Structure 1
Amino acid sequence: MSVQTTPAPPARTEHEDSALRRLMAGSVGRNLGLVLALLAIVIVGAATSQNFANFDNALVILRQASITGVVAVGMTFVIIAGGIDLSVGAVLALASVVGSLAAIQDIASSTHWIVTVIVALVVGLVAGLINGVVIAYGKVAAFMATLAMMVGARGLAEILANNRTLVISDRDFVKALNIDLIGVDILIWIFIVVAIAGWFLLNRTTFGRRTVAIGGNPEAARLAGIKVQRHTMWLYAIVGLTAGIAAVMYLGRTTAGTSTHGTLLELDVIAAVVVGGTLLVGGRGTITGTVFGVLIFATLSNVFVQNNLPSSGQAVAKGLIIVVAVLLQQRFAAGGARRPLRLPQLTAPKVAPDTRE
């Protein structure tokens, strides 16, 4: 009488285990953690408010996240390269004021409202280029250079606006920036397009690979033939351009340009990028993670609003999230530093015996 036994399932090899650990320790694992965090906030919001879990409120969250998200995409490139930009909020304000000046509105009314858009984008791009030139070629620390731009751009915006709010009189411009495409606000579509463009630029182009290389080791990147100074200049131009795009979005939403637009925007943007997994020291980051970081903060704000909770509690919650994100970054960085370098095992070549007499 024979006894039938079922074969045991094959055990996972050490190679499979290490591959799984590498996968979870990489961008997939980090993004999975962000998804779970966002899902937890959504569950809390749905459990505490009847008006949270509906399509209209989801659009409200995306609309609130759109302006911060656009600038955060540009900021991701700068931080991956080991830099920082504190001037994005002030540059946004300056671009909104210049775009709403009476002279610019007169030209736009006699030609096309697209003139207002172009002017705002050019202002953001030029401000970013100035930051890039001062940092890359002037050898000024990014923190100090962008801090100077933050103060100067905000002051220039106040001078140009004469401490007043400049109202946009072009109804075609306001209408174009407030339309819905298949039921979704145009501001959300702008955010989606910018995020996709940023993802493609970072992950599918040489420019993106060079950005990561510069953040990992600028000197090694220079020795590899990368023009680090020129590349750094264009990185700050990109974040300046995204600030200009955000200025156009602000003009469309508020129908006015003022020097107070974008106040403390830089803090929200940097927080979203850091929570999204981009290392402050540079060398690692993803656009996908940044998008999740922006959505986490926007959803958290919406939960507080839906439950009529004070903004001070919201600030405390944001601070805790940022601290946890930075602590996790330090842990991952330390783990990577402690990981031993594995070199392939080399064996001495077999030498045939000498048969010569």
Structure 2
Amino acid sequence: MTQPVSPPRGATDKAPPAGPRPAWSTVVFRADVRTLSLLGVLAALVVIGGITKPDEFLDTRNLQLVLTQASVIGVVTVGMTFVITSGGIDLSVGAIVALASVWATTVATQEYGFGGILFTAVLVGVGCGLVNGLLIAYGGMVPFIATLAMLASARGLALQITDGKTQIVTVDGILDLGERDAYVFGVPPLVLVFAAVTVIGWLVLNRTTFGRRTVAVGGNAEAARLAGIDVRRQRLYLYLLSGLCCGIAAFLLIILSGSGQNTNGNLYELDAIAAAIIGGTLLSGGRGTITGSVLGVLIFTTITNIFALNNLQSDVQQIAKGAIIVAAVLVQRRTASTT
């Protein structure tokens, strides 16, 4: 009679333990947690604004103002997110916005009407991005130095063009876009442009070969080169993209203010970098999120609005922003050390 075979020592009838969570699912999980956290912070700010100044903060006109103000720096931040994801940096975005806005509002340019102003703003932005890209990708310059030089040059040229004066826009087509009659179902045109740029940026970064190459270059440029990616050309394209976003932002700023000034875009580079960082984009490159960057922009814009409504000093506002940036970087370092 056949004896029953006993199971091997240590064997049980339980199901085998599940394997480790795939890397991609870990990234998605963390991204979801980060997005929910940012949404929670934004919701808390809305509650604070509603409690401190309920009539003013929750007014439809004020909420439209917050979104409108977020649109200009938001477009710049989308371009900045791509650059930082690739492991680069662009300190010249604010100066490029200023140069594009004053160049597009000169008397000679305004003679060509709406199309002339839009074309000039975009062309100047792309031109500056081209110079940055060539210096960094093919000239071998460090992004910090190259874009710092562009910052100084663009600011100086903007001051030379305006001679320190404000250039008033007289083109009706531009001025009309800033009026409430131009709103689409209560949404300002600037917000619609910002939304379109955000959607396009998200699709490009997450659903195209260009986006995957950007992440690869930021993660390990040498490995990307060995994999067949033209790293120098990719970096050139990224700074062109950043310049394009600056040109669009300059045009939006012209609509918003009805003028061009050499002081436009002041500290935009810091706000854009900060918004991208707190949104989850790694400053060292290799990971970027358009959704997080947009939420970061909305958080900073809401903080500014709440401080203004409560007549709080701007220095306290800057301290609050600095604390948020430090906290975001510490969280990033902690996350990176656990991977």
TM-score norm. by structure 2 comes to 0.91
Q: Per-residue deviation at 1:183?
A: 1.1
The number of equivalent residue pairs is: 322
**What is the aligned partner in structure 1 of residue 63 from structure 2?**
58
1:168 is matched with which residue? Answer: 169
CA distance in 1 between partners of 2:17 and 2:133 (Å): 47
Does the 8 Å CA contact 1:177/1:249 hold for their aligned counterparts?
A: no
Q: In the TM superposition, what is the alpha-carbon distance from 1:284 to its structure 2 partner?
A: 0.5
CA-atom RMSD in angstroms: 2.0
**2:305 is aligned with 1:317:** no
SS at match of 2:213: helix
Amino acid in structure 1 at the alignment position of 2:127: V
1:80 aligns to what? Answer: 85
Asked if the contact 1:24–1:30 (Cα under 8 Å) also holds between the matched residues in 2, the reply is no
Identify the residue that residue 239 of structure 2 maps to in structure 1: 236
The residue aligned with 1:217 is 220
Q: Which residue of 2 aligns with 1:46?
A: 50
Instruction: Report the alpha carbon displacement of residue 54 of structure 1 after superposing the two structures with TM.
Output: 4.0
The yes-or-no answer on 1:96 pairing with 2:101 is yes
State the distance in 2 between where 1:82 and 1:127 align: 19
Q: Secondary structure at the match of 1:156?
A: helix
For 1:141, the aligned partner's letter is V
- 2:5 equivalent in structure 1: none
Q: Deviations over 1:8-43 (max 9, x none)?
A: xxxx99649947982675311111111111122222
The equivalent residue for 1:330 is: 333
Question: Aligned ranges for residues 66-145 of structure 1 at < 5 Å?
Answer: 66-108=71-113, 113-145=114-146
Whether the 8 Å contact between 1:97 and 1:157 is mirrored in structure 2 is: yes
Cα deviation for residue 205 of structure 1 reads 0.6
Unpaired stretches in structure 1, ≥5 consecutive residues: 1-11, 337-357
Worse-superposed segment, 157-166 or 116-125: 157-166
d(CA) in 1 for partners of 2:254, 2:59: 28
> C-alpha distance in 1, partners of 2:124/2:329?
33
Aligned in 2, Cα 1:14/1:152: closer, same or farther, shift over 3 Å? farther
For 1:175-194, what aligned pairs fall within 5 Å after superposition? 175-178=176-179, 179-194=182-197
- CA–CA distance in structure 2, aligned partners of residues 299 and 206 of structure 1: 34
1:326-345 Cα offsets, whole Å, 9 max, x none, are 00111111111xxxxxxxxx
Post-superposition Cα deviations, 1:174-204, rounded to whole Å, max 9, x if no partner, equal 1135421111111111110110110011011
**Could you report, residue by residue, the CA deviation over 1:144-171 in whole angstroms, capped at 9, with x for unpaired residues?**
0000000000101111112221111112
Distance across 2 between alignment mates of 1:229 and 1:213: 13
Shift of 1:64: 1.5
Match of 2:154 in 1: 153
Aligned to 1:270: 273
When Rg is computed on C-alpha atoms for both structures, the one with the higher figure is 1
Cα deviation code 1:34-87 (max 9, x no counterpart) = 111112222222222212234333222111111110000000000000000000
- Amino acid in structure 2 at the alignment position of 1:163: G
Structure 1 residue 100: Cα displacement: 0.8
Letter matched to residue 115 of structure 1: G
Separation (CA, whole Å) in 2 of partners of 1:265 and 1:188: 18
Residues 117-153 of structure 1: per-residue CA shift (max 9 Å, x gap): 0111000001001100100000000000000000000
Question: What amino acid does structure 1 have at the position aligned with 2:288?
Answer: G
Q: 1:27 aligns with which of 28, 31, 41?
A: 31
Q: Go from structure 1 to structure 2 and tell me whether the alpha carbon gap of 1:144 and 1:14 turns closer, same or farther (over 3 Å shift).
A: farther
TM-score, scaled to structure 1: 0.86
Unaligned runs of 5+ in 2: 1-14
Distance 1:302 1:253 in 2: 16
1:104–1:115 CA contact under 8 A, matched in 2: yes
Report the CA distance between 1:253 and its aligned residue: 1.3
| Contact 1:23 1:29 (8 Å CA) reproduced | no
- Letter paired with 1:134: L
* Structure 1 CA distance for aligned equivalents of residues 85 and 138 of structure 2: 19
Q: Distance in 2 between matches of 1:15 and 1:68?
A: 46
Identity %: 47
Change (3 A) 1:21 1:99: closer
Q: Secondary structure at the match of 1:260?
A: coil
CA deviations on 1:208-227 (whole Å, 9 max, x unpaired) are 00000000000000000101
